[in-house]
Chains A and B, each alone.
Chain A
Amino acid sequence: MVENRPFLALLRHLVLILGVALLALPVWLAFVASTQDGGEMLSGQFSLLPSGHLIENYTAVLFQGLASAGVPPVERMIFNSLTMALAISVGKIAISILSAFAIVYFRFPLRKTIFWMIFLTLMLPVEVRIVPTFQVVSDLGLLNSTAGLTLPLIASATATFLFRQFFLSVPPELAEAARMDGAGPMRFFTDILLPLSRTNIAALFVILFIYGWNQYIWPFVATTDESHYTVVMGIQRMVAVPDSEPIWNVVMATAILGMLPPVLVVLAMQRLFVKGLVDSEK
């Protein structure tokens, strides 16, 4: 901005501060709640400052869970969520980068048809096909297993489409130069396409990890065994307790813990992520 008017600067800051408050306040409240004991929460006198039960609450949810609501320790659930989110993001990237490679660089019968079929599945997210998907997974005996939790979420049209667009923007001469250099198709893929897609992969990984982590309805349907609960499911279980008030301090501690891994992933991959979205070095 070239203008330098104090009033505008003030206004800008006000708007920004308001935005930050809007986003950060709920998180702060959740954190505050997670440091209180059960009684404080229900007293109606909600403090905006953390109380002294932080370590106590967190060790409780981490290692004991909430037996009254049938929720296993958060440590266990985080492990489950992590496995699921990682399997979904790695699986999705692996499958979609390979199918995009096939669609862009090979000529085979029905190539266009296959591409459009993949593209069409964009319109069929899990929520829409949940009944038939459940039937299939159940028939395969995959309920209550990591495979059953992740496989139906792995096939991905979005990522295939994104990689296809990226591959189309790679100059075709690169593939030709690699052919002249004696590199076969897979060699070209691993030596040239993969390194070039690095930032795209990173950006996609962040998005898919969060997507996988936040999966709610499918894990809810596909798992009944407590040992396969994910964090997101666990929170829901804690809230939906019959015949009593939810134990909010415990719920909030779980929520805070459940938020941490995606935040860490974003922080760790932030630079690559932004580069993947804006980079044009080809």
Chain B
Amino acid sequence: MATVHLDALFKRYANGVPAVNGVSLDVADGEFIVVVGPSGCGKSTLLRMIAGLETVTEGRVVIDGAEVNRREPGDRDIAMVFQNYALYPHMTVEGNMAYGLRNRRVPKAEIAERVRRAAEILELSELLQRRPSQLSGGQRQRVAMGRAIVREPKAFLFDEPLSNLDAKLRVQMRVEIKRLQRRLGTTAIYVTHDQVEAMTLADRLVVMNGGIAEQIGPPLELYDAPATTFVAGFLGAPAMNLLAAEWDGRFARLASGLALALPDLDRAPGPLTLGIRPEHLHFAADSRADATVELVEPLGADTLVHLRLGDAMVVARPTGTVGLASGDAVALDWPAAHIHLFDAEGRRILWTPSERETRSCLPVA
């Protein structure tokens, strides 16, 4: 159990390609941090630098107050769960779990005890003498976790540990990982590209893009107030609707010709991006025709309604079923409390209209 502190970490590969471009992060003791981002965003490189499997080009990795930049992975007292589990194929489950302890010259009796306990927690007691090739995917995953927990490390590192499992097992293991981490109270850093895993597991979420941390914070905070259009578009499925608009001082004019009044926005005229999540885009009981329905996808609990708005497509997500068919013209309601504004660089614009919670941004023809 320990804190992990990343201080302006950089990673450039020999060919000059920057993979991580200055990431700083403070992980509190026992915290569960999830690093999420699209492939190639540098999240795995970041994790591997913490593990010591990649060298650090610039910056510091500090674990429990001590800089570990130049320390071998085995001397950092951290454990890692790999995407393909990386179990030693010629060792039994027991051998796999004990290997790290044997290398550290832990007394035999203690190894046996720790392995027994870990196997109990992970329900592997019956399988201790099996080889990895005789296990199912979920069991292998559990052995990989067991190998991490017998070490009683300062921190767990997870590198997309669930992506090789089928959907059902993934949900089950996700819950197990969370429960286990809570129970052991070990600091964890978890890398994934799956945003459901990210949202559900994280105490705090790090959204990475192009080698930098776009935003760091509790999952719901990121969901409710994304700092950039990237975070806005990355979290949530279906993604937030992002519409290019031109702000003329009174109205945000969308490309479709729709103009929305944005009350109390104090800003020089210029381009901006207007974002609204599908679940917040409501239909208005009005005779206006803001958009036409292109496609209706009923999911049971809610319905995805794909709407054409000029050249842009937006998705609305009303709960239950709706009596709409493609071709229908609908009027939309734009609640001010749920409209996100971003500037031309994609950064969030602070906007707090008065009576925000009840107000709608009225469209003007």
Smallest Cβ-Cβ distance to A194: which chain B residue: B90
User: Is A196's CB under 8 angstroms from B89's CB?
Assistant: yes
Residue in B53, B78, B88, B104 whose beta carbon sits within 8 Å of that of A176 in the complex: B53
Option from B78, B82, B89 in Cβ contact (under 8 Å) with A281: B89
Task: Please tell me if B327 contacts chain A, counting CB pairs below 8 Å.
Answer: no
Please, how many residues of chain A have a CB less than 8 angstroms from a CB on the other chain? Answer: 20
The answer, yes or no, to whether B15 is at the interface (CB within 8 Å) is: no
Closest to B99 in A: A181
- 10 residue pairs bridging A and B, Cβ less than 8 Å apart: A176-B82, A177-B82, A177-B88, A179-B53, A180-B51, A180-B53, A180-B73, A181-B147, A182-B75, A281-B89
Instruction: Give the 10 A-B CB pairs with smallest separation, nearest first.
Output: A182-B74, A181-B100, A173-B86, A177-B86, A182-B103, A195-B90, A179-B73, A173-B82, A180-B73, A180-B80
Measuring CB to CB, which residues of chain B are less than 8 angstroms from any residue of chain A?
51-53, 72-75, 78-80, 82-84, 86-90, 99-100, 103-104, 133, 147
Across chains A and B, the number of contacting residue pairs, with CB separation under 8 Å, is: 61
Known contacts A179-B53, A180-B78, A182-B104; A171 and B84 CB within 8 A of each other: yes
Query: How near does chain B come to A67, taking the closest CB pair, in angstroms?
Result: 53
Q: Main secondary structure on chain A at its contact with chain B?
A: helix
State whether A180 touches B79 (Cβ < 8 A).
yes
Given contacts A182-B103, A182-B104, A187-B103, A174 and B74 within 8 Å (CB-CB):
no
Tell me the smallest distance from the CB of A185 to a CB of chain B, in Å. 11
Determine the chain A residues whose CB is within 8 A of the CB of B72 once the complex forms: 179
How far apart are the CA atoms of A187 and B100 in the complex, in Å? 11
Closest-by-CB residue of B relative to A173 is B86
> Which residue of A is nearest B105, CB measured?
A182
Q: Is the CB of A180 within 8 A of B100?
A: yes
Tell me if B89 and A176 are in contact (CB < 8 A).
no
**Segment 62-77 of A: residues with Cβ below 8 Å from B:** none
Among A179, A180, A183, A282, which residue has its beta carbon within 8 angstroms of that of B89? A282
Residues of chain A within 8 A (CB-CB) of B90 are 192, 195-196, 198
With a CB–CB cut-off of 8 A, which chain B residues contact A184?
74
| Inter-subunit contact A179/B86 (CB<8 Å) | no
Among B75, B78, B90, max chain A CB count under 10 A is at: B90
